[in-house]
Structure 1
Amino acid sequence: MQSRGSSHRLPGLALRSPISSFMLAMLATMASVYVAGRLWQDAENRVYLIKELDRRTGKRQTAISVDESLKMVACRDQHKKLAALEMELAAARHEGYVSKYGYGSESSDTNGAPSKKRLLAVIGILTGFESKNGRDAIRKSWVPSGAELKKLEEDKGVVVRFVIGRSANRGDSMDRAIDDENKHSKDFIVLDNVVEASEEVPKKTRLFLAHAVDTWDADFYVKVNDNIYVNIDSLGAMLSAHVDKPRVYLGCMKSGEVFSDSNHKWFEPDWWKFGDGKSYFRHASGEMFVISRALAQFISINRDILRTYAHDDVSVGSWFIGLDVNHVDEGKLCCSSWTSGAICSAV
């Protein structure tokens, strides 16, 4: 009986076994297809996102390698070190630790050949579009023209240039008049990124000093107004006595009241920064002042972050607060005082 019963159950088991295997195989195939489809879809999504990112950013490379990052950091560090070394080198030259290259001496290039002499001074005369008659008067008095201007540089180590900006309407008749005048006189520094306006004078002074030290290798850089006459021989004699001072700031030192009334001629928008006493810090008069090479280099390096105030002389004085600067109150540079032995005089 048992054997017969067993024989009745065997066919059922035989039928169920192939069906189960078939179902398992079919389920496995469906699962494989599903997983493959998801993987393919994810890959397509990633490709689409990368292409979209490239399209929006305009870059094919979406990541910077570690090596490239290190190179960028090292480059920034080198720029900072170079700026610091330039300041230290200028100070060392003036201190005598490096050959000073004062006017009349010669430096040498890497091959030992003598190079161009260092100038004594670069003088910038700030002028405007309306001052043509004043410039002509200066050319007839203390600033030579033509070949004599070059001779002044070669014989006395002094470069003199008129400094002017551009018209707000770039390329108009005022700009063309200055360009034509400069073709004949060749005695201008034209600052293309300065608009010629009274409120832009502090910026104009800053960019002149930066341009001058970047262009000419001199011991001193001088700013003068175009209504001032200068005795160049007396100026040269005075400056020669200060060549060994690395960070010197010479001028007719003054302080003066800070005016908070917007209707006043000398209104200072930042009057509140100067304390309850409303008095400016000591600074050289804007008629004429002198700074040494190291200070001009400081202005050049930091030109983009130096704050300007309403007046150029106050602005220059503010840049040296906190620095180890030798302020020299030189009465001979008080151009409006008519003191004995004055180097300059107002007209």
Structure 2
Amino acid sequence: MHSRGSSNRPSNSGGPAFYSRSSALVLAMFATMATIYVAGRMWQDAEIRVYLVQQLDRRTGQGHSAISVDDTLKIIACREQQKKLSALEMDLADAKQEGFVSKEHLENDGTRSKKRLLAVIGIITTFGRKKNRDAIRKAWMQSGAALKKVEEEKGIVVRFVIGRSANRGDSLDSEINNENSQTNDFIILDHVEAPEERSKKIKSFFVHAVEIWDAEFYVKVNDDVYVNIDALGAALSTHLDKPRVYMGCMKSGEVFSEPTHKWYEPDWWKFGDAKSYFRHASGEIYAISRALAQFISINRSILRIYAHDDVSAGSWFIGLDVKHVNEGKFCCSTWSTGSICAAV
């Protein structure tokens, strides 16, 4: 009995070694599984990082596998510049719709089609002054192909400026239409032609001219003044470096409060007790730079006018940072060598 019981009992021979081998096997299995798991996660993370870098490269247009902090800041700055450019393009589109940019001188891509002109000269005329206009055409303005040549070679556009009759379509309007069909040298404003409306007419001329022609200067001339085009161009060219120029034969003078006086000023009381006008250019001829013409165009509805057009023009620049150039060559009382104008 004893021996048989002894023979059925498991032998303890090699027990500790067996348990050691089993533990090592289990640990090896766990280690292998852990290694496979970690490797899989690392591979997955690596794939994700590669994908993210590729997406960043694609979106930023960079050709590098990674982007530095400096490059990232540059990208952000570029994006801000793109936003500003988009906003400016929208503002430009709005300006075109409002008429602040000449459509005549814009190509399909929105760029200027011609080089900027030096000057646009508006000769202020009215009904019944054809003899004056013909004399000016012969003396200094030219006509036909010669007028076009002045524009192309000297960069100076010259046009007569006139409004419409109070009775639209009457014989006065017909005469101007017929004359313009032969000469093609008029700016015909949508403005009633009348002596008391002259200041409004001058403002309308600057508005019209700056919207049609891109020029450095815009010049107003009376139709009883002869102009030396070359001398005028030379004088204007010396002030191209000044953004806001008001140039002419500067003067002042008494403000007349008597209604019967030829030069009566209804707003005389605004000029103080001494009743003297501020300095302004003589109305025979004066020039303003492009920035000032644009200012008149933009603020046309709120610019005050006075009884006299030269005073009105001078008043528009009071309070602005404008360079007043008192040029003796613009004084038309006498003609001498180098003079720009002569009144007749």
Give the TM-score normalised by the residue count of structure 1.
Answer: 0.68
Aligned to 1:158: 156
Identity of aligned residues (%): 69
Q: 1:153 to 1:264 in 2, by over 3 A?
A: same
Runs of at least 5 residues in structure 1 that lack an aligned partner in the other structure: 1-76, 90-106
Q: Secondary structure at the match of 1:142?
A: helix
Structure 2, unmatched stretches of 5+, are 1-89
1:229 is aligned with what amino acid? Answer: Y
How do residues 1-347 of structure 1 correspond to structure 2 at under 5 angstroms?
115-192=113-190, 194-338=191-335, 340-347=337-344
In the alignment, the residues of structure 2 paired with residue 141 and residue 259 of structure 1 have an alpha-carbon distance, to the nearest angstrom, of: 36
Change (3 A) 1:114 1:287: closer
Q: Quick check: 1:125–1:224 contact (8 Å CA) kept in 2?
A: yes
The aligned residue for residue 38 of structure 1 is none
Q: Which amino acid aligns with 1:212?
A: A
Residue-pair matches, total: 250
Paired with 2:142 and 2:181, the residues of 1 have a C-alpha distance of 16
Cα deviation code 1:238-282 (max 9, x no counterpart): 111001100000000001000000000000000000000000000
Q: What is the deviation of 1:304? A: 1.0
Q: Compared with structure 1, are the counterparts of its residues 112 and 212 closer, same or farther at alpha carbon in structure 2 (3 Å cutoff)?
A: closer
Q: Structure 1 pair 132/114, CA: closer, same or farther in 2 (3 Å)?
A: closer
**Whole-Å separation in 2 of the counterparts to 1:294 and 1:241:** 17
Q: Structure 1 residues 220, 263: closer, same or farther in 2, change over 3 A?
A: same
CA contact (8 A) 1:202 1:308 kept: yes
**In structure 2, what residue type is equivalent to 1:241?**
T
Q: 1:170 to 1:331 in 2, by over 3 A?
A: same
Aligned-residue CA RMSD in angstroms? 2.6
Q: CA deviation at 1:227?
A: 0.1
Contact 1:249-1:328 at 8 Å conserved across structures: yes
Counterparts of 2:123 and 2:112 in 1: how far apart (Å)? Answer: 31
- The answer on whether the counterparts of 1:331 and 1:339 sit within 8 Å (CA) in structure 2 is no
**What CA distance in whole angstroms lies between the structure 1 residues aligned with 2:173 and 2:249?**
33
Deviations 1:121-161 (A, max 9, x none): 00000001010000000011101111111111101000000
Cα distance 1:113–1:129, how it changes in 2: closer, same or farther (>3 A)?
Answer: closer
Deviation at 1:224, TM superposition (A): 0.1
Summarize the Cα distance change of 1:137–1:108 in structure 2 as closer, same or farther, 3 Å threshold. Answer: closer
Alignment check: 8 A CA contact 1:213 1:297 kept: yes
2: CA distance between counterparts of 1:196 and 1:112?
36
Q: Deviations over 1:58-95 (max 9, x none)?
A: xxxxxxxxxxxxxxxxxxx969x969xx99x9xxxxxx
> Per-residue deviation at 1:232?
0.2
SS in 2 for 1:219: strand
Rounded Cα–Cα distance in structure 1 between residues aligned with 2:165 and 2:111: 44
Structure 1 or 2, whichever has the larger Rg, is: 2
Taking structure 1 as reference, are residues 195 and 340 closer, same or farther at Cα in structure 2, changes over 3 Å only?
same
Q: CA deviation at 1:235?
A: 0.6
Aligned residue identity for 2:119: A
Structure 1 residues 336 and 111: CA distance shift in structure 2, 3 A: same
1:162 to 1:306, Cα distance in 2 relative to 1, 3 A: same
